[in-house]
Amino acid sequence: MRLVLTGGGTGGHVYPAIAIAEACAHEPAFAPLDVSFVGTRGGLEAAIVPAAGLRLRFVCARPLERRVSLALVATLLANVLGVCQSLVLMVRARPDVLVATGGYVAFPVVAALRVARLLQITRAKIALLEANAAAGLTNRLLAPLVDELWYAAAPARALRPREAVTGMPVRAALRIPLEPQAARAALGLAPHVTTIVVMGGSQGAHSLNAAAVGLIEDGVPADWQIALVTGARDFSATERRLRGRAGTRVLAYLDDPRRAYAGADIMVTRSGASTLAELAATRTPAILVPYPHATDDHQTLNARTYAAGGAAVVLADAELTAARLRAELQAALEPAALQRLRAAVQRRASVDPCATIVARVKRLASSKGIVP
């Protein structure tokens, strides 16, 4: 079977696609499996996808503009070029199934495959993964063009015939348990001390970093230690400011975040859909601070949906200060409260979305006559 994946810009779009590729590679019915990924040169996928051992092809794409302006003209031209480039790639790759995981690059790729179908060049099926509680502009435009629309979380309405709730896929490695003490030691932390990990996603989060720095400078309790994953932009200044502080480890980025999840008694993080899926898969309690400028405030909706079952605490970015963060951590780390968080996140970890997605891909491929 020939599988094409597209999605990019941030880790929240790229890592789920890699997880789908990994899961499909273990499905005997797909053998021999040919997988390729379509992204942009400026997106995070340019580094992550080759490192995962997947073939990567580039097309031109730009975020869709919501207002009439000169930028809109440039965006239209870039995406028209991207559709043309994608059409050439689709003709050459001859996919049986295309899975889009979001990000603006998905628009020209999906549009190109629909054009190829209209021209009867291919009969390839298309699936779109909607990761967030509120769909972004790109996914809203693409939804009518796909054969199946998959949701990471159930929408607040009845599903339509071509829709399914799959959950959010995560890489298989994240589901392999790591021993917490060894994970902490690998991060340069004490193995047996209560550990807080502050990590703002693949690009960092300035407000989380600032609150954590303030907390650390005010003094970390003797029975706590903090790993602060700043992202590249804030790393140098933060590392200089906190150099020599006891109970503190400052890191720019983690290529493999498993040790952070495994070593954390609790994590302070954003609420992108991929992050939430990784928290659930690794059974990590969390304080969620939604990014307030996300499109349609979808991170707040994500956080509220996730925390409704008790697996996390939600703190608004506008309310985030060093003092408030300390108070929330003290409350969440009380033994009874932490036990409730752990029990709730354990319930969320019981289902593997990758198995559901492989079954959906198999169904799409079967409808095209590819797999039995």
Structural domains of the chain sorted by starting position, each given as residue range(s) with its CATH number in brackets: 2-167+352-367 (3.40.50.2000), 174-348 (3.40.50.2000)
Mean of pLDDT values over 154-177 = 88
Contacts of 80 (CB under 8 A, 6+ apart): none
Model pLDDT, residue 176: 86
| Token duo for residue 330 | 């003290």
Give 51's pLDDT tier (boundaries 50, 70, 90): very high
Residue 336: its H or E element:
helix 335-348
Give the pLDDT band (50/70/90) at residue 52. very high
- Taking Cα atoms as reference points, which of 170, 166, 169, 102 lies closest to residue 134? 102
Q: What is the mean pLDDT of the chain?
A: 92
Q: E strands of the chain, at which residues?
A: 2-6, 34-39, 55-58, 97-100, 125-130, 148-151, 163-165, 194-199, 224-229, 248-251, 266-269, 286-288, 312-314
Confidence band for 68, pLDDT divided at 50, 70 and 90: low
Tens digits of residue pLDDT in 76-105: 899 999 999 999 999 999 999 999 999 999
